[in-house]
Chain A
Amino acid sequence: MYSYSPQPIHSDDHSEFADSDHLFLQVPAMPEQVGLVRRQVADFTRRQLWGVDDADALLLAVGEACNNAINYGQKDVLDPLLTVACSRLSSDELRVDISNQGNGFHPDLDVLARLPEADEFATHGRGFCLITALVDSVEVLSDGVNTTVRLRKSRTVGKNL
């Protein structure tokens, strides 16, 4: 059980709550927001004293999941939102939920996880493969209205920091 005393930050275009074990961000589901999300998640992993390799891997996976949410979700939603929630599950494990309004992913994860052949010039289809390679587990949760990609990653470097 974790105590959660969020510190709210609001601006015109995004909401944010953060404490030492959590980060909650809600931003317009627009490409220009993904950089902001990555920087906030990077700050969060830095606060957990994660090493560069693990932090970079998680950051790349989060970035790809945000891209998918923006590209494939919320087609029929006016002013769609992208929600990112980070939680420290233990000293060595983080969970990040990336949610969008709509069906953001193909329902067959095996299809998504299949990497295009290296000599194929397909310009899409590598994002989900990267996510699965970079984190320990990926779940796609959908209730028909919202889709959440849940990433879990354990620290592999500097566990004794």
Chain B
Amino acid sequence: MKIGGIEINKIHDNLWEIPAFGGMKVPGRIYASQKMLETQISNDEALKQVVNVAHLPGIQKYSLAMPDIHWGYGFPIGGVAATDIDEGVISPGGVGYDINCGVRVAVTNLEYKSVQDKIKKLIDSLFNNVPTGVGSSGAIRKLSIKELQDVLLKGAEWAVENDFGTNDDLLHTEENGRLKSADPSTLSKRAIERGLDQAGTLGSGNHFLEIDVVEEVFDAEKAEVMEIFPGQVVIQIHSGSRGLGYQVCDDFLKILVQAEKKYGFKLPDRQLTCAPVKSQEGENYLSAMRCAGNFAWNNRQIIMHLTKKCLLQTLKMSESELGFHLIYDVCHNIAKIEDHVIDGKKKTVCVHRKGATRAFQPGNSQIPPKYKSIGQPVLIPGDMGRYSFIAVGTQRAMEETFGSTCHGAGRVHSRHEAIRLSKGKNLREELDKSGVIVQAKGFKTIAEEMPFAYKDVSEVVDVMHKAGISKKVAKFRPVGVIKG
């Protein structure tokens, strides 16, 4: 069939292929149901962007798209591309502005029914202690430049060294919360300036801190390994590298636009601007991106620690009674140097995941010992009114998607439409009636983030489950949310 003039062939019910044409170096592959493809994905320029990404020098196998794909900057959001590290390129558009935007989920010993009447108090306490909203700052004291450089180098290790967490938290964070080969001198003065007072802040937009309840367990064996049980209270944190990350992206887009002319790349879209992975410009971007990634891990680690303190104080419990600990932390906007098997041979590639989550298989050396037998936990947040999912990576993901899967729901209505459709409604009351207590800086954020503005995340997760890329373990339902 043809969508928006692009020929697209069915591989199976949940996988579609755009055969290579023109300057495409590889075919495009999209994980989606036919319904999603025809009614959602066809609505914007995302498919064209899948085609554009296939033009990148050194791209391997396929330009991939996850089912939550939508129109992004250069790459679609939900795009995955691996490039050869010797002959290929790195593109900031394949990472995005919010470098290492990601999610972490922590569990507790609490059963929802025993704390149901305290959720309002907990949400108020979290809202007062975790800075949210535009330009939020002051979660911890303002850092000195030297301290910030240390954060950029060490990531979540800095937080743990400064009593904002434990070594066990690091063990259960992707890359142990620290990307190596991060040199803070590759960041501009402006990027540093933007990071000084934003450590431990949630930010605005779709970032959130949620109290969830485990509503359904799909795979009891794997859930047990993760210490998840029905009715349990869990905490979910979604945040990124804040202004520092945006500045790194912006700075390097400028540098790479110039580099592109130097290397003579001919790309169909200026936003795909890139440099060879092994060039000075490419290496500097990778280094700065890793610094921003480390900033984000430190950020989520501090937010989690502030959250734990709020729970302990509000519920007047001991640490052992609360049993608060991290299940896992994933990033969904990043580029990483990884080994993958391509055409039967091991190859080192630069995997761009923009709005996509790493989903490594059982036994992979990169995942914590606790999860070796079940595969890497994958955290997929939905909208604030419905549900989120936890899944695990598979061998099939390694074979088909460079060990990657979906990252969330994706919007169906623009922010302005969502506000327009919310006019005259008492949104807090509506959410309250559906069992979700919300605290946010204003009406506008709540309106923009209302459940109807998002796709149903269960459809996204089901596509990847049926395709065998990531397997569902449990579903969470929100009961309390703080938003920026």
B is a partner of A: no
